[in-house]
Structure formats: structure tokens, C-alpha cells
Structure 1
Amino acid sequence: MADSITSRIEMTLDSTLESVSKVEQEAEHFAERAGFDPDEVPHIAMAVRECAINAVMHGNAYSETKKFHVSFAMEEDLMKIVVSDSGQGVDLESLPDPLAPENILRGSGRGIFLVKAFMDDVHFRKLDPGTEVTLIKRRTAENASH
């Protein structure tokens, strides 16, 4: 089991795809430094990327006046990532099922499905304005790289 690591990074970014890429890279580096298994790191980075894309595209609608926020925290063997936007929020009940036959061939609509598959816990909270998504990934003896 890795030594206990406690660290935190906070980012406030413009609503651009360049910012999404920055967040994805930071997620990858943060997970590596935190000692996650190399096979898990890309999954964590992809989950964060999907949340950042949703914040930029759906939440803030690429608005130049709206920012989105991301925080990474590692405490003991728990990594917590929070992504929030300042848009109109998302209605999770209205999202189409990506596994429904009519949606299988669609090129989009699988982001939240992937996030839930890759992370241990995913929580959504409606803000005023915006949406906050909290991602939790536990580092266990089986998936720790040192």
C-alpha cells in the first residue's frame, strides 16, 4: 500500500476545449502521483475529461463569460474530483439511455455512462446556477502501483 498522500489542486478555466485538455492532463498526472495503477490512470483521466466536456459544452455552452471549476484532492486512499459549471444545470432524468437500441449507434451520449463505469462513486448536485459532479476513486492494495 502506498504511503498516505494528502494534496489538493484547484483550477478555474475558460469554457474551451483547450481547457478540457488541460484538465484531462492534470487528472492523469494527479492520479499517477497519487499511486494509482497505470491501467486505472487513463480511465480516471477519461472520466474527468467527460465531466469537463459536459461542463464546457452542455453547462456553459462555450460561453466566453462563464468559467468552470475543477478540484483534485487525495486524502489517504481516496481521490476526490469535483467539476462544476455555471450553466443551466442538467436534468439527469431526461438523459437518454446509451444502451437502448435506438441509441447504440449514436456518436455521443455516453459520457456519464463511462464516468459511472470508471469511477467508484459519482454524485451530481444542482447549483444555482450550474451543476456540480463529484467523482470518487479509491486506491486499494490491489490497484496501488507502489
Structure 2
Amino acid sequence: MDSINIEIPSLSENIRIIESFIDNVKDKFNLNDDIYGNIMIAVTESVNNAINHGNKKDKSKNVSITMNYSEDEIKFIVSDEGEGFDYNHLPDPTAPENIDKPSGRGIFLMKHLCDEIEFKSEGSVAELTFYLN
């Protein structure tokens, strides 16, 4: 299994670095557009959550992204230095009382775009898996 790791300070503008990283992954592994699109949205959303919620935009704290690649799947592990969150009890963004809220859709979206998603370390680590076949 191939593995690539990058680390960024918790600044919103560093999302561009992640987008370039994913573009490079697409080219290197010749990913199809559907998988590429899902990865781009889900991973940037996860990194955004890590910056804004996990590390609370503290630029002295880093977000680490590790990509593991095998013949069958590609996995992104996004880690922050925050305390984590209760990922088992998230409000449903499709519930009528939450429809107009500006936040709360990220993890819902990530769950629909990934083939597997798992949270570890109280939620400060997200593992996003995409099947290639």
C-alpha cells in the first residue's frame, strides 16, 4: 500500500493546498471523475472541519492528511489537534428544524460521498475510504 502524508497549519486558505494534493492524486492514480469529485468534496470538507471545529482556526495547530492507496481502495486519514466531538449524536441536517441552518451538513455530505467513513480518537481523526472498483 502506497502512503503519502502532508501537514498544514490551520488556516482556511490552506484548503487550496489540499485541492492541489487531490489533483495530484487524481493524476498519479488515474482516478475517474466520479471518484475524484467525491474525494475532492469529502476530503476538503473534512479538512475544513478539522481547521474550523477541531483546531478552532488556531494556526499554531496542524491538520495532518495521510493518503493510503491500494489496488482496491484509496483512504484519506484527516487528523486535527482538537478534543474531538460526539459523532454519534449529530443533528440531522435534513430535519425541518435544521434545514435553514448554515452549518451541520458537512459530515452528512461526507457519509454520502465516501464508501466508508470512520471517526477515531474521540472524533479528531476521520478515515474516509473510497472503493476503486
Q: Indicate the percent of aligned positions where both proteins have the same amino acid.
A: 34
How far apart are 1:7 and its partner, in Å? 3.0
Residues in 2 aligned to 1:35 and 1:116: alpha-carbon distance in whole angstroms: 23
User: What residue is the counterpart of 1:84 in the other structure?
Assistant: 79
Q: Does structure 1 conserve the Cα–Cα contact (< 8 Å) formed by 2:78 and 2:125?
A: yes
Q: Which residue of the other structure, out of 101, 104, 111, is the alignment partner of 1:116?
A: 111
Cα root mean square deviation, aligned: 1.6
1:95-106 matches, within 5 Å, as 95-106=90-101
Deviation track 1:10-47 (CA, whole Å, cap 9, x = no partner) reads 01110011222211331233134323211321221110
Please, which of 113, 124, 129 is the counterpart of residue 131 of structure 1? 124
Distance 2:72 2:125 in 1: 22
The letter for the 1-side match of 2:127 is T
CA contact (8 A) 1:124 1:134 kept: yes
Rounded to whole Å, the distance in 1 between the matches of 2:85 and 2:26 is 27
Partner of 1:18: 13
Q: Determine the C-alpha separation between the residues in 2 that align with 1:64 and 1:104.
A: 31
- Return 5+ residue gaps in structure 1 as ranges: 1-5, 141-146
Q: Size of the alignment, in residue pairs? A: 133
More helix by share: 2
Tell me, yes or no, if the aligned pair for 2:64 and 2:78 is still in contact at 8 Å.
yes
Contact 2:35–2:130 (CA under 8 A) maintained in structure 1:
no
User: TM-score, normalized by length of structure 2?
Assistant: 0.91
Query: Following TM superposition, where does structure 1 have runs of at least 4 consecutive aligned residues deviating by more than 6 angstroms?
Result: none
Q: Distance in 2 between matches of 1:93 and 1:40?
A: 26
CA distance in 1, matches of 2:102, 2:57: 20
Q: Which of 45, 49, 52 is equivalent to 1:50?
A: 45
Aligned: 1:61 with 2:56: yes
Q: Is the 8 A contact 1:119 1:137 kept in 2?
A: yes
Distance 1:32 1:108 in 2: 32
